[in-house]
Chains A and B, each alone.
Chain A
Amino acid sequence: MKLIYTDSLVVGAGLAGLRVAIASKERGLDTVVLSLIPAKRSHSAAAQGGMQASLGNTVKGMGDDEDVHFQDTVKGSDWGCDQDVARMFAHCAPKAVRELANWGVPWTRITKGPRQVVVNAEKVTIEEAEEAHGLINARDFGGTKKWRTCYTADGTGHSLLYAVDNKAISMDIPVHERMEALSLIHDGKRCHGVVARCLITGELIAYVAKSTTIATGGYGRIYEVSTNAIICEGVGQALALETGVAKLGNMEAVQFHPTAIVPVGILTTEGCRGDGGLLRDKDGHRFMPDYEPEKKELASRDVVSRRMTEHMRKGKGVDSPYGPHLWLDITLLGRKHVETNLREVKEICENFLGIDPAKDWIPVRPTQHYSMGGIRTDATGQSPHLKGLFSVGEAACWDMHGFNRLGGNSLAETVVGGMIIGKYVADFCEQNTLEIDTNLVESFVAKLQTEIDQLIDGEGTENPFELKQQMQRIMMDYVGIFRNGPELEKAVSELQDLLKRANALGLKCKKRHANPELVEALRVKRMLKVALTVAAGAAARTESRGAHAREDFPQRNDKDWLNRTLSSWPDANSLSPQLEYEQLDVMKMELPPGYRGYGIDNAIAHPDTEKREQQIADIISQLGPDADRHQKQAALMPFDVPESLKPKNERLSDTLNSGAGEIAK
C-alpha cells in the first residue's frame, strides 16, 4: 500500500482549492493538492464575466459597500443563504480583489473622463473621476444595485486561475495531477484523508492528512446539457455522501443560466447583458421588459431563465432542429466593445456557431450552470458532521448563495471563501495531530480495490456510458427549471432503478491502468447517488424558492420551508438518501425575509419576520443617530472572520471626502 502523509490535503486544483493550499503553505504546513487535470485547466478558467467586490471605484459603483453587496446576495438567495457567511464574504471580497492584483491579475482599469456605455438599450455617457483613473473597474451584472463586478475583459476566471496557480508554483506547492480521489478515509468522527487512483498507472494511493479539503466544484454534469466542464460530475459531493456521516446541503438548488448557446450549451457571459445586450424572441421583440419592467434583462438569473422558458412555452421561441431558443443581441454594443471586452464570447460564436456576434444575434437557451448545493459546512468551512473534512467553493454549501447565486458571486466565492477558509484549515492543522491508523487506511484501500476488481473481473453486464446518459436525461426531463410533484417522483424512482443496475456494471476494457471505461464506471454510481439527493430534495421541498421553482407550489413558503435541506446516505445499500432540515433562524437575521422585487409578492410569511423587523427597528433607534453603518451592523448580527481579515476596507469615496456627491451625478 502506498501511503503519502501531509498536513493539509486539498482535493481539486481550481481557484478555491489552490487558495486554501496557499493559505496552508503560508503557515508552513506541508500541503498536497490532488487534481484530475493540470491545475490551470480547472473549470475556474471558464468564468468569463468577473467577480463581485464592492470597491466602488467606477462612478456607477459609487456608494457601494459591504452592506449593499450583502443585501443583494441575501435577496438573490431568496433568503435561503446563511447571512453570517454572506457577511463574511462581502467583507472580504474587496481584499481578495486587491490581493489578486498583488499576485499579478491585470484587472481592467478605469480611464478618467467620459465614456460611452449602453444602459437599457440606449447609449449613455458616464464620466469617471480623475482620482479613479487606473483603479480597478467594475461592470453591471444581474441582481445587483451597483456596478460591482470586477473583471479582466471576459477572461476573468482565466486570469485569476493563472495568477493563483503561479503563486502556488512560486511557493512550491505540489499538485498531483491526474489523480482521482475516490473515497474519504474516516472513522465516523474524523476524516483522515482520501484513497485516490492514479489515472495513468491505475495505482491506488492513500493520502493521510490532518485536514482534507474538498474543492472539486459542482455537479452540473448529472444533467445532459450543462455549461460546466465535463469533469464537474459531483464526485466530490459523492465522496462526502458515501461516508454516511457528512451531509450535503440544499442539493435541489440548481441554477440555470439564461444564455448558453444552442445546442452545445457553452456559456456566453452575463457580462453580455451587463454591458447592455438584449434578449429577443422569434419576432425580434425585446420581451424581458414585458415581464420584469424594472430589472429587465438584468433580473436575477433564476428569474430571467424562468421568464425565457415561459416565453418559449407561449410559442415565442425560435424553432431549430434542437428545439426552441431565443436570441441574445449584443450587436448594439458595437464591434470595438465586442472585440475587446467580450472577446471570448466572440471566439465561441465563431468557432461553435459560425456567426459574428458583432452583427448576428446569438441563439441561446437557459442551461444548467451552477450548483448552489454541496457539502454542508459551518462558517469555517468544516463539516459539522465529520471533523477534519473541509469544503470550499462550488463543491461546498458554505452557504452564501441559498437558492440562487448572483452572477459574479461564484468566482468571488472561490477566492474569498478560499482566503477565509484557508486560514481556518491552517488553524485546524496547527491545533490537531496527524492520526494514522494503518488498519483503517488499509480497509478503505481494500474496499476500493474490491470495487475495481468487481468491475473488471465480475459478471456484470451494464454499460456505464449508457447508465450515465439515462441519468442525465432523467435530470433534464424531470428536475429542470420548472418542477412538479409527479415528475420529480418519477425522477426519483427511475434514478433508483439506475442505481440498482449500477451494482451490475461490467467493463469491456479490462485494463487496470489508464482505462476511460473504468473511470466512467467508478464515477457513475457515485453520480447517481448525488443525482438522487437533488431529485429527492426537490420532490420533498413543496415550495418555490430561488432556482427551485415548483409549478404545483408556486409560493415561497417561509412559514414551513425557511430551512436548509440536509441529505446523507447512512445505509450504503439503501436506494434513497436520508433527508432532514436545518432551520434558518429569522430572529438572528440582519435582513429578515422580504420581497425580492420580481413578479407578484406571494410569499407566505414566517411568524418571526414581523417580530424581528420590530426588534431591528428598536436596536437601530437605541443606537442613536450618530451610529455609523459598522456599528449598526455589529449590533444587528455580529460576525467573525480571521483576525488578519478584520480591518475595514478603504474606498475611493473615503479619500474623495467632498467630491463623491458631485461625481455621482
Chain B
Amino acid sequence: MSQQMAKGRTLTFSIFRYDPQMPDDKPKMVDYQIEEAPGMTVFIALNQLREQQDPSLQFDFVCRAGICGSCAMVINGMPTLACRTLTSKFADGKIKLMPLPGFELIGDLSVNTGKFMREIAERLKLWLHPKTGDDDIHRLEAPMSPEEAAKLYELERCVECGVCVSACATKQMRDTFVGAVGLMKIARFELDSRDARSADDFYHVIGNQDGVFGCMTLLGCQDNCPKDLPHMQQIAYLRRKMAVTLV
C-alpha cells in the first residue's frame, strides 16, 4: 500500500473536450490541475474535477470496480479501464485522457459502446441457440462436464469495454470488422455443448474478411484486454475451425 500513500503531488490532467451537439465547438485538449490523494484513481480524480472545476465534463462510470466495462478510455496513449487506474502509476504526474476511438462520440470522454455491442450481438447472433428438448425447468438439469463449464466461464469474462476494438488496427481500417469482442463471443458459443450451431453456421457469420480472416494478428486486443482474455488463442482456434469447414 505504501506506493498509494504518496501524497501531495499536483497532477496535471490533459483532457479531450468536444461536444458534438454544440454547432461551434471544436475538439481541443484542456489542462486541469488537481492535488493527488492517497489511493486516487482516474475515477476519483475525474469526479473531483467535475464537482469542483467543470460540471460539464462528460465521462461514464458505473461500477467503479473494474466489473462493468463502462469507463474504458485512452490513458497516456493506452486504452484501459479508468476506474482501476491508480494515478500513482504515472511518475511525472501528467495524465492525458482521450475518448476510446472506434466508437460514436457522445461528448468529451463518453462514447457509445452500448450501441456498438448491441449491433454486434444482433449481427453475429451472440446468444445461446439451444438444442431442442431437455429444457424442463422442473426436472433435474442436464449435466455438463465441470471442465467445460470452467472453460466457458473463462471466455465469458469479457465485459464489453471496447478496449480490444479501439486497440485493433484492422478495425481502424475496416469499419465492418467484428473485432476481438465479436470473435471471442463466437468462440464461447462454439465451445458450448448446449449450442445447436455447427462450425458451418459460424462460418457463415465470421468466415470472411470481416471475421477471422480479416485479423492481421497485431494482437492489440490481447495486449490491452483488462480481463486478460486469450484473444490470440481463440482467434487462431476459430481460424483453424473455419478452415476445416472448407475441406
Contact = CB atoms under 8 A, between A and B. Distances in A.
A325 to B, nearest CB: 12
B138 A647 contact: yes
Nearest to A646: B138
A177 B19 contact: no
Given A40-B159, A108-B153, A652-B140, 7 more contacts: A45-B68, A45-B159, A104-B192, A108-B150, A109-B149, A264-B64, A344-B67
A117 B232 CA distance: 34
Interface in B110-165: 110, 113-115, 117-118, 121-122, 125-128, 130, 135, 137-146, 148-150, 152-153, 156-157, 159-160
A388 to B, nearest CB: 29
Nearest to B22: A511
A221 B206 CA distance: 43
Interface of B: 1, 3-5, 19, 21-22, 38-39, 41, 50-51, 55-58, 60-70, 84, 86, 106-107, 110, 113-115, 117-118, 121-122, 125-128, 130, 135, 137-146, 148-150, 152-153, 156-157, 159-160, 189, 192, 194-195
Q: Which of B65, B69, B139, B157 has the most CB of A within 10 A?
A: B65
A520 B50 CA distance: 11
A107 B149 contact: yes
Nearest to A171: B127
Interface string A23-53: 0000000000000011111110110000000
B118 to A, nearest CB: 7
Contacts of B39: 263-264, 352
The 6 closest A-B pairs by CB, nearest first: A134-B143, A38-B114, A104-B128, A517-B55, A106-B152, A166-B127
Q: Which of B41, B63, B194, B195 has the most CB of A within 10 A?
A: B63
A652 to B, nearest CB: 6
Q: Which of A55, A98, A104, A175 has the most CB of B within 10 A?
A: A104
Given A177-B115, A352-B84, A507-B55, A108 B149 contact: yes
Contact of B21 (A166, A167, A351, A513): A513
B141 A98 contact: yes
Interface stretch (A154-162, A277-285, A544-552, A553-561): A154-162
A648 interface: yes
B67 A103 contact: no
A454 interface: no
B128 A163 contact: yes
Interface in A635-665: 647-652, 655
A101 interface: yes
Contacts of B63: 41, 43, 45-46, 229-230
A401 to B, nearest CB: 22
A266 B51 CA distance: 22
A437 interface: no
Nearest to A55: B141
Contacts of A38: 70, 113-114, 117-118, 160
Contact of B62 (A37, A110, A175): A37
A370 to B, nearest CB: 15
A344 to B, nearest CB: 7
18 contacts: A40-B68, A40-B69, A41-B63, A101-B142, A106-B156, A107-B144, A110-B146, A152-B149, A162-B156, A167-B127, A169-B122, A169-B126, A175-B118, A201-B21, A264-B41, A266-B64, A352-B65, A514-B110
B21 to A, nearest CB: 5
B53 to A, nearest CB: 10
